[in-house]
Amino acid sequence: MNKDIPVISLQRLPIYLNYLKSLPEDRTYVSSGLIAEALGMGEVLVRKDLAYTSATGRPRVGYVAKELISALEDFLCCNGRRSAVIAGVGALGRAVLSYGGFANYGIEIVAAFDSDVAKIGTAVAGKPVFDILDAKREVRRLKAELAVVCVPAQYAQKVSDLLIESGVKAILNFAPVLIKAPDGIVVRHIDVAANLAILSSMI
Amino acid sequence: MNKDIPVISLQRLPIYLNYLKSLPEDRTYVSSGLIAEALGMGEVLVRKDLAYTSATGRPRVGYVAKELISALEDFLCCNGRRSAVIAGVGALGRAVLSYGGFANYGIEIVAAFDSDVAKIGTAVAGKPVFDILDAKREVRRLKAELAVVCVPAQYAQKVSDLLIESGVKAILNFAPVLIKAPDGIVVRHIDVAANLAILSSMI
């Protein structure tokens, strides 16, 4: 993936992709104007976002729909397919396991971990739930490099340490605590409440 | 809330607050160095973040712990207490309803909406689930200005339109589609998959 793309643009690419896939199969061309109108966005912005991909529009007719779909898919997945695990099978973990949007980015959720014996050995959304104590073995076996941490705040650091020891290189953290990680490991924090608070400050 | 604070700093404030609240009651002073070490951050960054609040550190001893807690709470809630509703009581909606982190920002989740008769009339995490068709009446009655949209992508726009008609002024959208909203309504999009893809591009 082109690392120079702004996050805000990257987040829009799967939205374009979903829209393009929703069009009738027999549609040959699609213009940035059409996409912009359908999604309620500015046309210049759409063109700018799409310019990060390898697709090139043609004067008057726009993009070949199939080429644009391929260009978006290539762009989103061009760092290869990666496997991710979920730590914590509470309400949030279940939601993430059931979420279908990862495939657009070439990411596959392959397993989940929990410490609750009632959950270990079950499957959620078709993915096996393993004992967190077996993380080292399973993360290696599954070659998972990504993890989504959905455990309560007080366990987030310990679980992250274990995942990193097991070979995970990037952690998306939903727990409302900062995760410390050694150099070379990337961590991103999604704080749902902070996001709502930011909105609240804007009205 | 001070609108000039960067989002990234705003997201760290509740983390400081949680940490400070975890300290023993009899602790009088707390320094930016101590906070930085405990949270694995740089001291300069901590001081910079805290400077957005009304708290002022004292040379050598640092901040009065109680004053700093109050300053953080004031800062995070100074636009008054606001009520929020959740649209969609699937796995994600349940997770958001159960999430305790909103109180730090003066936000209270007061109700949820769904179209499933099996869910309408029940309570999730102590919050009533109403029929989405009654949104207009209930949003007004509850004076809710914020909403978190956790419905499937194909319903997100319709549900958002209904919430906006009902008086909601800010929407946090988890569905992987762009929500169109009239001027004066703010919308923020959290795309879990895009966030994981960004991490994936960094390793």
Q: What is the ipTM of this complex?
A: 0.77
List the single residue in A12, A172, A198 with the smallest CB-CB distance to B188.
Answer: A198
Residue B53 to residue A109: CA distance in whole angstroms: 40
b/e per residue B30-65 (b: at least 16 CB within 10 A):
bbbebbbebbebeeeebbebbebbebebeeeebbbb
Q: What is the pLDDT of residue A172?
A: 95
DSSP secondary structure of chain A:
--TTS-HHHHHHHHHHHHHHHHS-TT--EE-HHHHHHHHT--HHHHHHHHTTSS---BTTTBEEHHHHHHHHHHHHHTT--EEEEEE--SHHHHHHHH--GGGGGTEEEEEEEES-TTTTT-EETTEEEEEGGGHHHHHHHHTEEEEEE-S-HHHHHHHHHHHHHHT--EEEE-SSSPPP--TT-EEEE--HHHHHHHHHHH-
Q: What is the pLDDT of residues B79-126, one digit of tens each?
A: 578 999 999 999 899 999 988 788 878 899 999 999 999 999 999 999
Q: Give the mean model confidence (pLDDT) for residues A134-139.
A: 97
Q: With an 8 Å Cβ cutoff, are B79 and A193 in contact?
A: no
Q: How crowded is residue B133: how many other Cβ atoms within 10 Å of its Cβ? A: 11
Q: Is 80 exceeded by the pLDDT of residue A11?
A: no
Collect all residues of chain A within an 8 Å Cβ-Cβ radius of residue B112: none
Residue A109 to residue A85: CA distance in whole angstroms: 6
CA distance A39 to chain B (A): 7
Lowest mean pLDDT among A102-106, A133-137, A139-143, B42-46: A102-106
- Mean of pLDDT over chain B: 90
Nearest CA in chain B to A16: B177
Size of interface A-B (CB pairs under 8 A): 182
Nearest CA in chain A to B107: A197
Q: With an 8 Å Cβ cutoff, are B40 and A202 in contact?
A: no
List the single residue in B84, B92, B200 with the smallest CB-CB distance to A107.
Answer: B200
Q: What is the pLDDT of residue B2?
A: 54
Q: With an 8 Å Cβ cutoff, are A95 and B98 in contact?
A: no
Helices A192-202, B7-22: crossing angle, 10 deg rounding = 120
Q: Is this prediction's pTM over 0.80?
A: no
Q: What is the pLDDT of residues B122-174, one digit of tens each?
A: 999 999 999 999 999 999 999 999 999 999 989 999 999 999 999 999 999 99
Mutation target for B interface from A145, A201, A202: give the one with most B CBs within 10 A.
A201
Q: With an 8 Å Cβ cutoff, are A200 and B79 in contact?
A: yes
Q: With an 8 Å Cβ cutoff, are A201 and B3 in contact?
A: yes
